């Protein structure tokens, strides 16, 4: 079926590119064998027309998604015709110097995931066909730098496709302070890697607000739910800034905590001041931003919040929720 569709799309593209005048649906239907066969499927004339129309509209949309410019023209009799002008579908010559080719090679090698690695390799092959200099090997970067973006989470690929297709999704998500995952209904906007972890930004339908989700905390399968978004997608999705805010990276206050000696090295790295108290404990002053309570909970009994009072109360509430299960 995939081969048949590819052949049908190729025939439609050749017809639209090869004509000097707009071709009507009827003319295209009679010129492409697959459409002739589709017309025979219907039990009657109406069913035959419906089968062809659905197939033709899907094919036309697929070609446009691939980048083909298809014009719709109406003649004097009111009949609609279609054509693809060659000047509108001709790419300019591609010229790349050695540095630009090397940059493309690095970008292609970034992805370790099989699906994306194949797509990157195919893109470079197309560039070669379009005029990439034969003497330049884009896979050989100038230097030992070889970037990698690891993708270990099974949720990455379905979420990537959902972001591309603007499809709402449902998945089970376990928050850092929760003992069990809960179902989340999300309109996905963008995926971004930050400090070695992948995050999804989107609109949480249950909470009616923007949320960011760490992919490693998604459990089970990502499932599609319905079509169409209910909330507008922002022009700029600031995943990193949002994650930094939730992780306490953006802070304008300080918190005082007691930390067990030899534990909590990430907290020690952020500390503005450290004082040894003895008896196996240290006192740290650390930046206090939104989400710090959830982060402190992850250190369990190794951390005691001294001040401010509201941060101490938030951490205690989270620990009690975890204890209750």
Please say whether the beta carbons of 299 and 284 come within 8 A. Answer: no
Provide the pLDDT for residue 6: 83
pLDDT band at 183 (very low <50, low <70, confident <90, very high): very high
Provide the pLDDT for residue 2: 44
Provide the pLDDT for residue 228: 80
> Would the pLDDT of 247 be above 60?
no
Segment 32-61 shows an average pLDDT of 76
3-state SS, one letter per residue, for 27-45: HHHHHCHHHHHHHHHCCCH
Which of 40-44, 183-187, 214-218 tops mean pLDDT? 183-187
In the chain the domains, ranked by start, together with CATH numbers, are: 1-130 (no CATH), 155-247 (2.30.30), 254-324 (no CATH)
3-state SS, one letter per residue, for 245-267: HHCCCCEEEEEEEEEECCCCHHH
> Would the pLDDT of 182 be above 60?
yes
> Would the pLDDT of 250 be above 70?
no
The CA R_g of the chain, rounded to the nearest whole Å, is 28
Question: Which has the closest alpha carbon to 311: 292, 298, 295, 286?
Answer: 292
> Would the pLDDT of 248 be above 60?
no
How far apart, in whole angstroms, are the C-alpha atoms of residue 253 and residue 259?
A: 19
> Would the pLDDT of 274 be above 70?
yes
CA–CA distances in Å: residue 198 to residues 63, 109, 188, 299? 32, 18, 13, 22
Please say whether the beta carbons of 293 and 255 come within 8 A. Answer: no
Mean pLDDT, the chain, rounded, equals 79
> Would the pLDDT of 45 be above 80?
no
> Would the pLDDT of 80 be above 70?
yes
């Amino acid at each position: 079926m995939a081969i048949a569709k590819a052949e049908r799309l190729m025939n439609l593209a050749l017809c639209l590119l090869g004509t000097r005048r707009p071709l009507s649906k009827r003319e295209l239907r009679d010129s492409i064998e697959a459409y002739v066969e589709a017309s025979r499927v219907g039990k009657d004339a109406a069913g035959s027309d419906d089968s062809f129309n659905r197939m033709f509209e899907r094919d036309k949309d697929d070609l446009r998604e691939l980048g083909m410019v298809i014009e719709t023209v109406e003649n004097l009799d009111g009949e609609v015709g279609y054509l693809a002008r060659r000047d509108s579908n001709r790419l300019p010559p591609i010229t790349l110097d050695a540095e630009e080719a090397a940059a493309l090679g690095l970008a292609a090698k970034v992805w370790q995931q099989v699906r994306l690695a194949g797509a990157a390799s195919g893109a470079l092959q197309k560039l070669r066909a379009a005029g990439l200099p034969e003497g330049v090997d884009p896979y050989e970067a100038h230097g030992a730098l070889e970037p990698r973006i690891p993708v270990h989470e099974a949720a990455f690929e379905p979420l990537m496709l959902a972001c591309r297709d603007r499809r709402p999704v449902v998945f089970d998500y376990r928050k850092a302070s929760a003992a069990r995952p809960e179902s989340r209904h999300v309109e996905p906007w963008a995926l971004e890697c930050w400090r070695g972890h992948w995050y999804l930004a989107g609109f949480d339908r249950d909470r009616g607000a923007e949320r960011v989700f760490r992919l490693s905390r998604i459990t089970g399968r990502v499932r599609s739910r319905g079509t169409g978004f209910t909330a507008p997608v922002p022009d700029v999705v600031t995943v990193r800034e949002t994650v930094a805010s939730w992780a306490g990276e953006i802070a304008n206050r300080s918190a005082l905590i007691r930390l067990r000696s030899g534990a909590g090295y990430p907290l020690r790295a952020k500390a503005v001041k450290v004082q040894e108290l003895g008896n196996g404990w240290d006192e740290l002053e650390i930046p206090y931003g939104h989400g710090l309570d959830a982060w402190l909970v992850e250190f369990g009994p190794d951390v005691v919040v001294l001040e401010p009072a509201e941060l101490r109360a938030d951490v205690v509430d989270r620990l009690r929720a975890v204890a209750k299960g």
